[in-house]
Amino acid sequence: MTRFEYNNSVFQLFGQNTRPADAFSPDQEAQGFTNQAEALVVSPLLAEQYADAAEKIAEAHADKIMAELSGCDAGNEEQCRASVLDWLTSFGARIYRRPLSDEEIDELLELFGAATEMGEDAFDPHVGVSVTLSAMLQSPYFLYRIESGQADDGDVMRLTPHEMASRLAFLFWNSTPDAILLEKADAGGLSTRAEIRAEAERLVVAPRAREAVKNFHREWLGLRDIEGLAAIGKDLEIYPDYEESILPLLQQEAEEFFDHAIYEEDASLMTLLTAPWTMMNAELAAFYGVEGPTGDEFEKVALDADKYSGFLTQGGLLAVHAKPNRSSPIHRGLFVRERLFCQIPPSPPDNVPEPPEVDTSLTTREQFAMHEAEPVCAGCHQQIDPIGLGFEHFDGMGRYRDKEWGLEIDASGEIIGTSDADGEFDGVIELGQILANSRQVSDCLVTQWFRYAYGRSPVEEDEPTLTFLQDAFEAADYDIKGLLVALTQTDTFLYRKRLPEPSAQEEVSP
């Protein structure tokens, strides 16, 4: 599990939002996401942190569990053990996300019995419960999503009902399955596309799904980098009103925007890229210099449709993709090229010249014209800068400006090297329309959701799945929630590859 998934699972199991995984080592990223199987490695330090967290969680909840066990407080050892057996059978299934086998229950009962002798009394069930719960929270059946599959012909295996319950829960909620999913799995459900689709449609509109969708956008678009600007800051001579306190509000603006657009509006890609509104509170409205709310709560605020275009013109993202003392056509162009077109430009050569210093007698466009003149720069920057220059009406803090250093701004741009979005444009409003109507951009979003939902990058064998998802997204009029449901209808989601049989040497290896 990722740190986000661990915290959510602990909350769902125990009802306390203590966020223990915030103290864990940072998750490693791959392709911009922290839930990619190739990057999820348990280091010795992380194993220690798992153990420490498990012990603290167990100790914090042992009293509550003891209060629900018959006979344990009264010292009735036989009745207590019977109650512990019931607890392991019921609550253990929630931790492991499936029923425990008889062998697993016997092992945990043996551990409970041994642990009861560790206390000061001859029989200390409190210690037994705490140690047993800690052991379950350190089990690979809690920390890992283990998918053994069930017998099937060929090279693929259908997931078991409980494995499917976990896939659904972690996709839509980034958490462990709820009681409804587990009950359906216990009854042998979640085995047909129709049953899985029905659960997907339930899960995607649940309150917990909203936080998972926010988390996707945090990772896809790098929204966490907004608060990270505090380590870099902005040049106070150029932006004298910059304050670190505005950064978390800018990140919240972006997260609230995606949440509102997807769950309160039409959930379309067009809205995300072109909406002439955002979410603000009074402090953000003052920052942007617009009329807005008068309190601390975030509300939907209409903006000038000739200036603002969905998340493309939000201050937090624009400030991240800028320099401390200026805008940055390079960073903004790269953002569009990589995150929205799914194109990775080649790495720059070693002999790239330093960017020009700020010159208040020239606009940023005029200063960065050097990239067109320098042969070592032109090859890459002709794919990047002309897109980024379309954002020049927004300064390094991400706020709209009519002029730069009193000079007229030219925000014209051009896109090249795409399948259907090439051409000239003037400013972000026109850029937003081009992106919103580009099949390459919508296909890129499908790819990003594939990575996040399936925990890996697509390979050549996944082309049929991608095509199915791209067509389903189009058929849903580019509705994000429709795409999420479609993710559960693919063979990639329903099956897993059959693992090769272990060799004789592997079978006897410790």
Q: What is the pLDDT, as a whole number, of residue 506?
A: 47
Please state, in angstroms and rounded to a whole number, the distance separating the CA atoms of residues 480 and 266. 9
| Cβ(321)–Cβ(405) below 8 Å | no
Q: What is the pLDDT, as a whole number, of residue 497?
A: 82
- List the beta bridge partners of residue 277: 302
Q: Is the pLDDT of residue 312 over 80?
A: yes
Q: Is the pLDDT of residue 220 over 90?
A: yes
Convert the pLDDT of each residue in 181-218 to its tens digit.
999 999 999 999 999 999 999 999 999 999 999 999 99
Q: Are strands 277-280 and 299-302 parallel, antiparallel or unpaired?
A: antiparallel
| Cβ(272)–Cβ(300) below 8 Å | no
| pLDDT (mean) for 410-435 | 97
Q: Is the pLDDT of residue 378 over 70?
A: no
| pLDDT (mean) for 386-406 | 97
Q: What is the pLDDT, as a whole number, of residue 469?
A: 98
Quickly count: other Cβ atoms within 10 Å of residue 144's Cβ: 11
Pick the closest to residue 385 from 328, 433, 345, 339 (CA basis).
328
Q: How far, in whole angstroms, is CA 323 from its chain's centroid?
A: 26
Q: What is the pLDDT, as a whole number, of residue 500?
A: 67
pTM over 0.85: yes
Better-predicted residue by pLDDT, 348 or 266: 266
Q: φ, ψ for residue 102 (rounded to 5)?
A: -60, -40
Weakest mean pLDDT among 138-152, 170-184, 317-331, 411-425: 138-152
Q: What is the pLDDT, as a whole number, of residue 358?
A: 87
Q: What is the pLDDT, as a whole number, of residue 301?
A: 98
Q: Is the pLDDT of residue 423 over 90?
A: yes
Q: What is the pLDDT, as a whole number, of residue 211?
A: 96
Place of tokens 């056509």: 329
Q: Is the pLDDT of residue 105 over 90?
A: yes
Q: What is the pLDDT, as a whole number, of residue 355?
A: 72
| Cβ(417)–Cβ(432) below 8 Å | no
Q: What is the pLDDT, as a whole number, of residue 153?
A: 62
Please state, in angstroms and rounded to a whole number, the distance separating the CA atoms of residues 37 and 263. 29
Q: Is the pLDDT of residue 509 over 90?
A: no
Better-predicted residue by pLDDT, 389 or 350: 389
- Render 177-191 in DSSP notation, one character per residue: --HHHHHHHHTT-S-
Pick the closest to residue 96 from 49, 150, 48, 137 (CA basis).
137
Of all helices (H) and strands (E), which one includes residue 291?
none
User: 67: pLDDT confidence band, cut at 50, 70 and 90?
Assistant: very high
User: 429: pLDDT confidence band, cut at 50, 70 and 90?
Assistant: very high
Q: Is the pLDDT of residue 120 over 80?
A: no
Place of tokens 């253990």: 92
3-state secondary structure 255-274: HHHHHHHHHCCCCEHHHHHH
B/e letters for 386-423, b = 16+ CB within 10 Å, e = fewer, are bbbbbbbbbbbbbbbeeebeeeebbbebebeebeebee
Convert the pLDDT of each residue in 315-334 to its tens digit.
999 999 999 999 999 999 99
- List the beta bridge partners of residue 384: none
Q: What is the pLDDT, as a whole number, of residue 374?
A: 62
Q: What is the DSSP letter of 352?
A: P
Better-predicted residue by pLDDT, 119 or 64: 64
- Round the CA-based radius of gyration of the chain to a whole number and report it: 27
Q: What is the pLDDT, as a whole number, of residue 352?
A: 64
Please state, in angstroms and rounded to a whole number, the distance separating the CA atoms of residues 444 and 64. 48
Q: Is the pLDDT of residue 467 over 60?
A: yes
| Cβ(386)–Cβ(333) below 8 Å | yes
Q: Is the pLDDT of residue 126 over 80?
A: yes
Q: Is the pLDDT of residue 75 over 80?
A: no
Q: Is the pLDDT of residue 119 over 70?
A: no
Of all helices (H) and strands (E), which one includes residue 342?
none
Q: What is the pLDDT, as a whole number, of residue 122?
A: 73
Which residues make Cβ contacts (< 8 Å) with residue 231, sequence separation at least 6?
none
Q: φ, ψ for residue 57 (rounded to 5)?
A: -65, -45
Q: Is the pLDDT of residue 507 over 50?
A: no
Q: Is the pLDDT of residue 279 over 80?
A: yes
Give me the amino acid identity at 323: K
Q: What is the pLDDT, as a whole number, of residue 375?
A: 53
| pLDDT (mean) for 362-386 | 76
Q: What is the pLDDT, as a whole number, of residue 454?
A: 96
What the block records as the tokens of 16 is: 């306390």
Of all helices (H) and strands (E), which one includes residue 452?
helix 439-454
Place of tokens 């058929």: 475
Please state, in angstroms and rounded to a whole number, the distance separating the CA atoms of residues 109 and 126. 14
Q: Is the pLDDT of residue 455 over 90?
A: yes
